[in-house]
Amino acid sequence: MNQITPVPAGGRIASIDVLRGFALLGILGMNIQAFAMPFCAYINPTSFGEQEGINRWVWGFGHIFFDMKFMGLFSMLFGAGVLLFADRAEARGASLSQVRWLHCNRNFWLVMFGLLHAHLLWSGDILFAYGVCAFPVYLFRHRSARTLLICGFLFLLLGSGLSLMFGLSYEQWPEQDQAELAQFWRPDPAALDEEIAQYSGGFSSGFVSNSEGSLFVETFIFATSIFWRVMGMMLLGMAFYRSKILSGERSAAFYRRLLMAGAVIGLLLIAIGMRENIAHDYAIEYSFYIGSQWNFWGSVALSMAYIGLIVGWVRSGRWPALQQRLGAVGRMAFTNYILHTLIGVLIFRVLGYFGSVERVEQLALVVGIWSFQLWLSPLWLIRYRFGPLEWLWRSLTYRKMQPMGRG
């Protein structure tokens, strides 16, 4: 197995690296809310915090352009990465059994990283879900782009149908279950005060609660929601990779059409969803399950529009310095993702600002972190081949220490 080595840096696909960097930075635009405020504020904007004036505009902008869009895009890129990793291992002489072993080993370690990240730092982890879903996704590896596209939408339909089933049956739930969900959706002031006290009292004060939340996400939430969404988006990403869309090999007109179609469909669905949820005053009976479907499907379309936008831009060659910086962020996506958590935990839990930073202030912090990572990532890669966590993951995958420095 030691004879099979990772792909050299010169063999990378620039458009995929830039897309990954774009998606990684965009994910922070939503995750910052979960770092900074009680979790209810992430799913229900009326449950916590100032919702008037500029804060309302910041929330609206984030909901339209960020919520589920960048995580959807990142999931598509992860699915494409499964094929890219396997195809290149085969091209370097690995047998089918060796490719399978490398894939399983690689994603076993991703699951371990995800568990550590979730239980030690932050319950909003997505690495666990990606690592787990990578195992069944691999079974689709040799399917055609058309089959992958159909299967991807089938998984999304199953996830959407499950959510609708929960929503339409809500009135028949036992009263206790309704009350528990209502408290989760819109906690009372005492529950909010308790959560703020836990997560603003230093790192250790919220440790147990964070770990309990992580376990709930990794079991019930994963089985009823995350699995279907991640599987569907990964399969769509595999279809886009097989169709040579992600590598920028289609025509400029194709990427313009993808951008326009995805943006029109996505923004229309998201706008209808916002109107309907506001009309229902974000009541749990409508908004938790049924009202969320507008953004669920709108985000799929807008994720595709982002692919058309970014890959079309990469093909154009405009603003090469920004492309290079985004590509560097993408090449260090694992390290930069965990760095988001470390910064969030430091500011909001260790320093005690949890629950006291408004959405507009969160946006300013996001822009600051973006600027820092766009500066740091290319600087790091001048001296080193990989980000520190990318290096560790590769070394564990191949069971051999990988070269780190460029000297």
**What CA–CA distances, in Å, run from 64 to 35, 57, 317?**
20, 11, 28
pLDDT above 80 for 7 = no
AA identity, residue 299: S
The residue-averaged pLDDT of 56-83 equals 97
163-205 pLDDT tens trace: 999 999 999 999 999 999 999 999 999 999 999 999 998 888 8
pLDDT category of residue 367 using cuts at 50, 70 and 90: very high
Residue 380 near residue 387 (C-beta atoms within 8 A): yes
Beta carbons within 8 Å of 327's beta carbon, 6+ residues apart: 14, 17, 18, 21
What is the rounded distance in angstroms from the CA atom of residue 59 to the CA atom of residue 360? 9
What is the rounded distance in angstroms from the CA atom of residue 260 to the CA atom of residue 266? 10
SS3 state of residue 272: helix
pLDDT category of residue 4 using cuts at 50, 70 and 90: low
Residue 202 near residue 354 (C-beta atoms within 8 A): no
What is the rounded distance in angstroms from the CA atom of residue 78 to the CA atom of residue 239? 12
The residue-averaged pLDDT of 333-351 equals 97
* Rg of the chain on CA atoms, in Å: 21
What is the rounded distance in angstroms from the CA atom of residue 27 to the CA atom of residue 72? 10
Which pTM value belongs to this model? 0.95
List the chain domain ranges: 9-398
Please provide the DSSP assignment of 137-170 as one string. HGGGTTS-HHHHHHHHHHHHHHHHHHHHHHHHTG
The number of angstroms, rounded, from the C-alpha of 112 to the middle of its chain's C-alpha atoms is 18
Angle, CA 112 vertex, CA 107 and CA 113 arms, to 5°: 95
What is the rounded distance in angstroms from the CA atom of residue 19 to the CA atom of residue 23? 6
Q: Please tell me the least confidently modeled range out of 7-21, 89-103, 261-275.
A: 7-21
273-319 pLDDT tens trace: 999 999 999 999 999 999 999 999 999 999 999 999 999 999 999 99
70-108 pLDDT tens trace: 999 999 999 999 999 999 999 988 999 999 999 999 999
